[in-house]
Structure 1
Amino acid sequence: MTQSEDTGQDRIRTDIAHNARVWNYWLGGKDNYLIDRQVGDQVTGMYPSIGQVARADRAFLGRVVSLLAGEDGVRQFLDIGTGLPTVDNTHEVAQRIAPESRVVYVDNDPIVLTHARALLTSTPEGRTEYIDADAHRPADILRAVEPTLDLSRPVAVMMLGILNFILDTDAATSIVHRIMDAVPSGSYLVLTHPTLELGGEGNAEAMAFWNENATPPITARTRTEFAGFLAGLDVLEPGIVSCARWRDGGATTVEVAQFGAVGRKR
């Protein structure tokens, strides 16, 4: 196997903007190309609050993982569609609270693959793994997570900003349910998803531009569609809200057009 085959470099395209790199740019990262910055700036011009969405999504992750690893005692996390590493990744937040936490990251983007080594850091007591797998193939993911994760014990399944890239809602719902069926009672589902509600109507034009000029294509969903992902789970308070306002302690004045919610399997 050559180095390019091993790292995924042969699959990296620098002539078209890619979500993982543009998102990194919006978060102030440096793992992006000129085309990503150009498209990112164009989207920002059309939808100025997109940077706030990116930051709110990341802050939501921190609050949720802190809660689950802290009060709720979760020690296993399955982060699907992790994207490029930034600050306070899932394993960093969880292992800061509970060093024995085990985290598996899943992504199939070649840029993320090249940064896997940065993700694969862990406390001595815990473990962090990276799986190169496609969210469209949940059975492959479930086979690959063991033995890092014990699927007979509760797992927090993190799917932040990933289901919006699965354009068919029935298919996306089926993927979520397939994964949650494989984890036991006491497991959690953590979701964020863009919407044209919550003041996000202006994002429609920006999404259309994205789908013409970047990859992968994206879709927004309604509150009802988003709620379908959580069917059969006990949704933690405050329910389905803007991710910026999920248990923020009243500190957030901005409501971004990104749903956030956490469900617990009975």
Structure 2
Amino acid sequence: MAYKLKLIQFLNRTFLPLTLVAFSHVFGQTVAFTPAGQASGFSKYNLTVSTANGTDGAGGFSMAGTNFAAATRYLIKISFDGGTNWYEIANATATSGTWQGDGLFKTTDAQTFQIAWSHSRMADELAAWPGAVNTGTINLRISNIAESVHYPSSTGAAFVLDLVQPSINTSVISSNNSTNNAYATTGNQITVTFTTSEDLDNSDNPIVGTISGVSASVTGSAQSWTVYNIISTHADGTAT
């Protein structure tokens, strides 16, 4: 009995740690796709992103991963139709890991990678690029070589695509001057109301402006907005 007990203890000491190591390679992979010039978690690809400074040039994305298999090849692909059709990123720049071309990259011995590609890698090198549109998404995913396992999922990480600059449809400037609302004096409020060709986002991309060189406040939502301030240090003349 003593022999059997020692054997069981030996097995527990020897093989339990090996089992834990094996699981650490199977679970816990993390990958983050980040639009150029933005913080992690930003989920849009717009005009600001397309021209922001990036590791591989203007615009595009960077991706960083941890806990992937060490020194192993993976495949990065992109979709412009919600994940129906997928295309290889032909060229990119690696700051961690090794870029091998045509969507292929190799992780480091420490199980990590950091890869970036510019806007032109998508717009100029991929025939499927949808062009200057303000609908749809860019979806990104990493797969094993067999393309049987995908990260973060089979549909990838989605980024709302908006590369069309909105235009102003109508605008009106007025004041609350009791005598003539086409004029304003100290203490009067100047108000500019305007409508746009599409919904504006005042959270991620705050609307800012001035009236006669003085900062103005902004209110509104969707396609209807108001910009205003109160006459104080404004220069004499036509308000713009």
Per the TM superposition, whether the score is higher than 0.5 is: no
TM-score range, shorter chain: under 0.3
TM-score (normalizing by structure 2)? 0.26
TM-score with structure 1 length normalisation? 0.25
Structure with bigger RCO (C-alpha 8 Å, 6+ apart): 1
Which structure has the bigger radius of gyration? 2
